[in-house]
Structure 1
Amino acid sequence: MKYLALWCAVLSVFVAAEARAQSVPADSSVTLYGLIDAGVSYVSNEGGNKNVKFDDGIFTPNLLGFKGTEDLGGGLHAVFDLVDQFTLGTGSILSGEGIFGRNAYVGLVSDRYGSVTLGNQYDFMTDSLFFGHDDAAMEVGGLYNFRAGPFSKIAIPGNPPFAQQFDWDRMAGATVDSSIKYQSPSIGGFRFGALYGFGGVPGSFGSGSSVSVGANYDNGPFGMGAAYTEVKYLNSGAPEVGIRNWGVGAHYRFGDITTTALVTTVRNTSNGGAIAEGEVGASWLFQPDWQIGADYMYMKGDAYLNNNHAHQVTATLDHNLSKRTLVYVEGVYQRTNEGAQALISGVLDPDGTSSGPSQFIGRVGMQTRF
C-alpha cells in the first residue's frame, strides 16, 4: 500500500510539471557561435628585433560560445552564455584562463524590468563603452588598437610581469568573476546598469570585491556612454591593490560614415600611478563590401609614471567576402617620448616592448564568424 501511495505521489508531481509545461510557451533555443581570426604580422621592433610572425585573435578574439534562452512566459526569459577564448595557432585555451574564462553566466531577462545575471561577466567599461560602439577598436584595428603603451609601472595585477600596462582601461574584454549584474531595459533611449563582484573573504565582505556602473543613451545615429569600475585585487597578505577606471565616449553615424570619440582613465590606488587617454576615430563603408577606418590616440601618464606619453595612429582596410567572412590589412604606429619604450597592445609574447620610442605593426589577416 505504501508503494502505491509513493507512486501516486510521484505521478502527481509529473502531472503537475507537465501541466505547467503546457501552460508556458515552449520557445527556447541553444546557439553555438564563434569568431576566428588569423594572419601574418610584421613588427618593426619586438624586444629589439624585427619580427614576422603568425598571429591570431587580433581583429577579433578567437571565441567559441554556447548561449541559450528559454521563454518562461509573461515576458520572462532564462538565459545563459558560456564563452571560451582560444589560441588558433595551437588550438589551446588562452593561457591563464579556464575553459569558459571569457564569459560564463546564467540569469533572468524581463522584457519590462531588465536582466539579472550571475557568474563571470564583463563590467561596464566593456559593456557601456566598447559594446556601446564608442571605441574605434571595434571597427579599426581590434586588439592592436586597445590601450597599452610605456606605462609598466602602473602594475595592473593579473597581467604578465612584462606587460602590467596591458588593457589598462579594461575594454579588451576584462571580466569580473563571482559577480551579479543588473542591466535595465531601454527607457526613452536611456539604459543603465550596475555590477558587484564578491571577494569571498571570510569576515571581510568588501575585501577583493569589485563594483561597476554604466549608463548609455541612444537616439538614432547618435549614442553616448559612461562607465566606472573599481576592482580590489588581493595581494598575499599585503594591502590589496585597488584599480579604478572611468570613461566616457560617443559615436555618430553620418550615413555610411561612423565617427567615435573616447576618453578613459586608470588609477592604481596603491602606488598613485595614473594614465589618461583620448582618441578619435572614423570608419567609412565606401562600398557595400569595402570599409576603411582610421584612429588617433594620445595616452599620458602622471609623475609616478615618469610623465611618459604616447601617440598612436591606426588604419585598416577591410573587404567582406561574405556576410560572415572578411580579409583585411592594417597598420599601427606608436611613438613615445624619448627615454620611454613603445608597446602596442597585443605584442606581449614573451615581451614585445620596443627597445626604443617607436613601434610599427603591419598585418594581413582573415576573420570569420559563425
Structure 2
Amino acid sequence: MGRQRRKCALAAMIGLAAPIAHAQSSVTIFGLLDAGVSYISNQGGKSNWQMADGIAVPNLFGLEGAEDLGGGLKAKFRLVNQFSLGNGSIIASPSNSSMTSGGLFAREAWVGLASERYGSLTMGRQQDFMVDTLLADVGADSALYVGGLYNFRDGPFAGLNLPDSPPGDAYDFDHMNGAEALSNSVKYTSADFSGLKFGGMYAFGGTAGNFSQNSASSYGVSYARGPLAVGAAYTNVKYAVLEGESIRNWGAGARYTIGNALLTLLYTNTRNTQNGAAVNMVEAGGTWHVTPAFGLGANYMYMCGNAGVDNNHAHQIDAVAQYSLSKRTTVYAETAFQIANSGATAAIDGTFGPSSSNQQFVGRIGIQTRF
C-alpha cells in the first residue's frame, strides 16, 4: 500500500539518554481517510441517506518504526488506530466477545524483531493470515480495489452465530477486512524466498486452567512472481461464548496483472464448529486503468450456506469509477447490489442494517486520501 512517509531520527529525540553506536532508527507516521455520501435502498424497511466514512478505505492513523541492530537485524513496532471521521470517535471493535475487542490501537499494536534472512517474530495485537496473506501479500480480494467495506462479506447468514458480529448479522464472516485483529498473539513471518512467503501465529487465550479457551491460530503461504500472485490461508478462533468451539476460516486466491488490467479470484469457507453452520464464498473481479488517472472496476460474488444457515444464498455485484486527483487523493463513485433467495434478508457489509427484503442496493460518492 503506497503512502508518503515522514521519517524523523529518534537519536535527536533521545539524545544522550541512549547513546547506541552505529544504530539508525526511524519512525513513520501514516494514515488513511475516507468520507462520502451513501444511499441505502432498504435498511430495516426504509431507504436511508447517510454521511458514511471509512468505506473505500478504513480511517486509520498509525505509527511504525524500526531500529537497525546490525547484521541485517532490526527491532520493529507498529501501532494503528481506527476511528470515525464523522464524529472523531475511536472504533475499537464491533465485537461482542472479549477475544478480539480492543481500545486505542485496536487495529494493530505489536513489537518484535525482523531479519532479512530469517524473517520476523512479533508479539501483540496483530492481523491474522487471512488478512496478511490473501489481502496484503496476494491482493486476491476485490474489495481492495472495488467497493471497500461494501464489498467484504455479509448476507443472510446470521445462523453462523459469529461472536464478533453485530447481533442478527454476519458482518465480515470470513475475517478478511482487518477489523478483528487477534490479541495476545505471537507471529512468525518468513523472509521472501524468491517470491515465496509463509507464516504462522498463535494467540494466547489467557484463561487460567484452560489453555485453549479464547485462543486462536492462523497460517498462510503465498507466492508472487511477475504478474502472478497466489496464496492460501487458515484461521481458527476459539471462543468462550461458543463453549470452547470455534469459527474456522480458510481461503485461497490469486491476482494477475495484464497490461493496464488487474484480475482477482478468491474463495473462502467459514464454519461454526459448535452448530455446524457454514458458508462458501467465491468472488471474481477486475480493474482497468483507462488512463493513468481514471480507472474502472467491477466484481461478482456468490455466497452459499448450508442447512445451519437455512440454505440461504446471495449474489452480489459491485462497481466503481475512480479518478485520482493526485498520487494521494482519489474521488470515486460506487454501487453495490445484493439479492438473496426468497424469504431471506439481504445485508451488504458495512450498512449495519439488513434489508427487510431479499434485495439491498447502495450507491455512493466519496473521496479518499492518504499520508
TM-score by length of 1: 0.92
Q: 2:199 aligns with which of 187, 193, 197?
A: 193
Q: Give how far 1:190 is off.
A: 0.8
Q: Give how far 1:208 is off.
A: 1.6
Q: Give how far 1:240 is off.
A: 2.2
SS of 1:127's equivalent in the other structure is helix
Aligned match of 1:364: 365
SS of 2:245's equivalent in the other structure is strand
1:221 aligns with 2:227: yes
Q: 1 CA distance for matches of 2:31 and 2:245?
A: 34
SS of 1:45's equivalent in the other structure is strand
Q: 2 CA distance for matches of 1:170 and 1:140?
A: 18
Structure 1 residues 73-152: aligned runs within 5 Å: 73-96=70-93, 97-131=102-136, 132-152=138-158
Aligned match of 1:182: 188
Q: 1 CA distance for matches of 2:245 and 2:53?
A: 32
Q: 1 CA distance for matches of 2:214 and 2:54?
A: 30
SS of 1:93's equivalent in the other structure is coil
1:190-243, Cα deviation, whole Å (9 max, x unpaired) = 1000000001111222222100000000110000010001000112xx722300
C-alpha contact 2:125 2:183 (8 A) present in aligned 1: yes
Q: Give how far 1:101 is off.
A: 0.3
SS of 1:89's equivalent in the other structure is coil
- The two structures, once aligned, show a CA RMSD in angstroms of 1.5
Structure 1 residues 206-355: aligned runs within 5 Å: 206-235=212-241, 239-348=243-352, 352-355=353-356
TM-score by length of 2: 0.91
SS of 2:192's equivalent in the other structure is coil
Q: 2 CA distance for matches of 1:188 and 1:79?
A: 23
SS of 1:105's equivalent in the other structure is strand
Q: 2 CA distance for matches of 1:320 and 1:28?
A: 33
Q: Indicate how the Cα distance of structure 1 residues 217 and 95 shifts in structure 2: closer, same or farther if over 3 A, else same.
A: closer
Aligned match of 1:202: 208
Q: 1:160 aligns with which of 152, 159, 166?
A: 166
Q: 1 CA distance for matches of 2:155 and 2:167?
A: 14
1:60 aligns with 2:53: no
- Structure 1 unpaired stretches of 5+: 1-14
Give, as a single letter, the amino acid of the residue that structure 2 aligns with 1:368. T
Q: 2 CA distance for matches of 1:92 and 1:183?
A: 32
Aligned match of 2:6: none
Structure having the higher Rg: 1
Give, as a single letter, the amino acid of the residue that structure 2 aligns with 1:353. P
Q: 2 CA distance for matches of 1:34 and 1:339?
A: 42
Q: 1 CA distance for matches of 2:341 and 2:209?
A: 47
Give, as a single letter, the amino acid of the residue that structure 1 aligns with 2:47. K
SS of 1:171's equivalent in the other structure is coil
Q: 1 CA distance for matches of 2:264 and 2:283?
A: 8
SS of 1:161's equivalent in the other structure is coil
Q: 2 CA distance for matches of 1:206 and 1:99?
A: 26
Give, as a single letter, the amino acid of the residue that structure 1 aligns with 2:355. S
Aligned match of 1:36: 33
Q: Give how far 1:257 is off.
A: 0.3
Q: 2 CA distance for matches of 1:162 and 1:207?
A: 24
Aligned match of 1:45: 42
Q: 1 CA distance for matches of 2:195 and 2:52?
A: 39
Q: 1 CA distance for matches of 2:336 and 2:283?
A: 14
Give, as a single letter, the amino acid of the residue that structure 2 aligns with 1:44. S
Q: 2 CA distance for matches of 1:206 and 1:155?
A: 20
C-alpha contact 2:82 2:92 (8 A) present in aligned 1: no
SS of 1:126's equivalent in the other structure is helix
1:222-269, Cα deviation, whole Å (9 max, x unpaired) = 00010001000112xx72230000000001000110000000010000
SS of 1:166's equivalent in the other structure is coil
Q: Give how far 1:160 is off.
A: 1.5
Give aligned pairs, total: 347
Q: Give how far 1:95 is off.
A: 5.0
Identity %: 51
C-alpha contact 2:92 2:107 (8 A) present in aligned 1: no
Give, as a single letter, the amino acid of the residue that structure 2 aligns with 1:181. K
SS of 1:327's equivalent in the other structure is strand
Give, as a single letter, the amino acid of the residue that structure 2 aligns with 1:335. I
